[in-house]
């Protein structure tokens, strides 16, 4: 016979309600509720990677094996939890069934080692409610719910969205403010109101606005935990009182963020700042490119996670220039390690230490003629390098001799020098692409651009991109673009340095490969196509 049992009402989150259930069923239910009430409420603390979602090569399915490997990779680095199906997880480009399966796989693979906070947001309340209920049943510790996007509800609508879900699912809930993608900011006054709901336990702020984080900390730090979601301001947010961070870059540099978090907890801000400075460019690129940058970094490091789904792509939100910069910085912090690569230059066969990634060939041969190019920067100070590298006794050596013996007016070639009377090796000839018509333009090309070219060659020799044992056998010719209206000498130097560094690497590796060209053919364009 059914009986009435006073319980804590799930509908309103407090007070008493009446539950009509069968006695046996009711006692079991009541036991579970007692266990839930007595268990300390989960509150997010520490470093949580916003997990990317690995897809198969054709982008059609979730690669569950790679997802499991990624979870282990992050846990082994000491993270405090993981967050599947968030923005970095490309949840908006996944079906509901795919999202549910990803949550199941992550919960299973963590196996209680760290908490799982599942992204369960949606633009509609019913869809978000369905996902949150599913996540609870799957065994997550909490859900992360983004503000409703696209239709941009009023403040009342936002409140009802969160309060409806919180009242119907007895699961700790984190608010999620990321106005740059939702088109809607979550006002701190709204956060103050929502913090009164017992099972709303935290907020992830990805706006990058420290003033917003400070306002929330001022108002509700005694009620909910504030989590930084913007990779560029982590130390500042933690120092201000944030309880942790959920980060895209924690997929591939989780150990560094764990160290930073530990330093702040131990009041050693100097060490925390120095580590943040070391990865600041990586953080900036990741914030700008999201899942694309995080996946490229992981793939370059050998943690395979496959491609992103369209409309995201390399060459889009992650430019080819940014991908090369990301690679260089991962090398600097030791995430991409040098390996032995064979070089075959004329009769010489030698092994050199090369910062190799998955696209680097094991043997680099045929130095008769190798070509490459790279772009860096924007506006008037943009730099573009067309590069050829080859044996002194081959066609590149012949071209070098002709350019020196028969200079073309306005395109006079110059041998790059590191300092007065010190020619860079391999010998490098710089040829202006744009016709030089005045002294100011000549000063830009033969001044900062030339210095940048020489420095890039020297650094490529130091890091093993160009093997030391063949410097006297090779010739480099760089066609250098400097816009006639360029005026900022520092930017001309920096952009030409970057472009030369990237073009040398691409030339040595034989990139883009035929596969890369085919993959990107529909997204490629001339770098100045839309420039007046």
Q: What is the CATH number of domain 46-266?
A: 3.20.20.70
Residue 7 clears pLDDT 90, i.e. is over it: no
Q: Considering 176, 261, 320, 493, which one is annotated as catalytic?
A: 176
Number of H helices, E strands in the chain: 19, 19
Where residue 6 falls among pLDDT bands split at 50, 70, 90?
very low
Residue 118 clears pLDDT 60, i.e. is over it: yes
Residue 30 clears pLDDT 90, i.e. is over it: no
Q: Considering 100, 134, 136, 204, which one is annotated as catalytic?
A: 204
pLDDT in tens, 346-366: 777 777 777 877 778 888 888
pLDDT at 234: 98
**In the chain, % of residues over pLDDT 90:** 74
CA pair distance 69, 305, nearest whole angstrom: 9
Element (H, E) at 202: strand 200-205
CA distance between the termini of the chain: 82
CB-hemisphere CA count at 13 Å for 105?
A: 22
159 among known catalytic residues: no
Average pLDDT rounded to a whole number, residues 216-231: 97
Where residue 159 falls among pLDDT bands split at 50, 70, 90?
very high
Identify the three-state secondary structure at position 407.
coil
User: How far, in whole angstroms, is CA 75 from its chain's centroid?
Assistant: 19
pLDDT at 524: 58
Sequence-separated (6 or more) residues with CB below 8 Å from residue 439:
none
Sequence-separated (6 or more) residues with CB below 8 Å from residue 133:
168, 169
Contact between 214 and 228 under an 8 Å Cβ cutoff? The reply is no
Which of 52-56, 144-148, 346-350, 446-450 has the lowest average pLDDT?
A: 346-350
Which of 362-366, 367-371, 449-453, 459-463 has the lowest average pLDDT?
A: 362-366
To the nearest whole number, what is the mean pLDDT of the chain?
89
Element (H, E) at 60: none
CA pair distance 279, 118, nearest whole angstrom: 27
pLDDT at 38: 56
pLDDT at 420: 85
392 among known catalytic residues: no
Identify the three-state secondary structure at position 6.
strand
Domain boundaries, the chain: 3-38, 46-266, 368-520
CATH 3.60.10.10 fits 368-520, yes or no: no
Which of the pair, 40 or 229, is modelled with greater confidence? Answer: 229
Residue 254 clears pLDDT 60, i.e. is over it: yes
pLDDT in tens, 173-223: 999 999 999 999 999 999 999 999 999 999 999 999 999 999 999 999 999
pLDDT in tens, 459-513: 999 988 998 888 899 999 999 999 999 999 999 999 999 999 999 999 998 888 7
Which of the pair, 9 or 523, is modelled with greater confidence? Answer: 523
Which of 76-90, 235-249, 267-281, 504-518 has the lowest average pLDDT?
A: 504-518
Where residue 525 falls among pLDDT bands split at 50, 70, 90?
low
Which of the pair, 6 or 488, is modelled with greater confidence? Answer: 488
């Amino acid at each position: 016979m059914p009986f009435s049992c006073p319980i804590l009402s799930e509908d309103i989150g407090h007070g008493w309600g009446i539950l009509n259930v069968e006695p046996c069923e009711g006692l079991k239910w009541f036991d579970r509720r007692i266990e839930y009430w007595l268990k300390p409420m989960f509150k997010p603390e520490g470093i949580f990677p916003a997990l990317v979602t690995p897809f198969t090569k054709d982008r059609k399915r979730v690669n569950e094996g790679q997802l499991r490997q990624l979870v282990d990779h992050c846990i082994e680095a000491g993270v405090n939890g993981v967050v599947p199906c968030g923005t970095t997880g490309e949840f908006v480009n996944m079906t509901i069934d795919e999202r549910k399966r990803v949550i199941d796989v992550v919960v299973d693979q963590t196996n209680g080692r760290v908490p799982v906070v599942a992204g369960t947001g949606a633009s509609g309340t019913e869809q978000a409610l369905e996902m949150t209920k599913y996540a609870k049943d799957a065994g997550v510790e909490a859900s992360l719910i983004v503000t409703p996007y696209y239709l941009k509800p009023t403040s009342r609508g936002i409140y009802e969205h969160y309060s409806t879900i919180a009242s119907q699912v007895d699961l700790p809930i984190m608010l999620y403010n990321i106005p740059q993608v939702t088109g809607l900011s979550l006002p701190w006054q709204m956060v103050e109101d929502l913090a009164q709901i017992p099972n709303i336990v935290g907020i992830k702020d990805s706006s990058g606005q420290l003033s917003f984080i400070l306002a929330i900390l001022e108002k509700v730090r005694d009620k909910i935990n504030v989590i930084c979601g913007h990779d560029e301001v982590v130390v500042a947010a933690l120092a201000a009182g944030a309880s942790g961070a959920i980060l895209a870059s924690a997929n591939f540099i989780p150990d560094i963020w764990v160290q930073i978090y530990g330093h702040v907890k131990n009041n050693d801000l100097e060490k925390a700042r120095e580590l943040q400075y070391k990865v600041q460019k990586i953080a900036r690129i990741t914030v700008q490119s999201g899942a694309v940058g995080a996946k490229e970094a992981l793939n370059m490091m050998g943690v395979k996670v496959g491609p992103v789904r369209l409309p995201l792509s390399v060459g889009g939100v992650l430019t080819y220039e940014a991908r090369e910069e990301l690679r260089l910085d991962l090398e600097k912090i030791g995430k991409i390690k040098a390996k032995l690569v064979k070089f075959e230059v004329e009769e010489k066969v030698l092994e050199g230490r090369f910062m190799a990634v998955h696209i680097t060939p094991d043997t680099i041969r045929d130095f008769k003629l190798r070509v490459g190019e790279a772009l860096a920067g924007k506006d008037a100070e943009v730099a573009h390098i067309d590069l050829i590298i080859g044996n002194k006794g081959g066609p590149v050596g012949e071209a070098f001799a002709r350019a020196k013996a028969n200079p073309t007016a306005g395109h006079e070639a110059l041998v790059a020098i590191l300092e007065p009377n010190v020619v860079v090796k391999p010998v490098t000839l710089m040829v202006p692409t744009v016709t030089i018509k005045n002294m100011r333009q000549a000063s830009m090309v033969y001044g900062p651009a030339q210095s940048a070219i020489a420095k890039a060659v020297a650094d490529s020799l130091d890091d093993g991109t160009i093997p030391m044992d063949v410097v006297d056998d090779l010739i480099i010719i760089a066609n250098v673009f400097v816009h006639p209206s360029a005026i900022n000498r520092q930017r001309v130097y920096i952009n030409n340095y970057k472009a030369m560094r990237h073009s040398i690497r691409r030339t040595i590796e034989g990139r883009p490969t035929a596969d890369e060209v085919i993959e990107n053919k529909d997204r490629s364009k001339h770098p100045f196509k839309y420039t007046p």
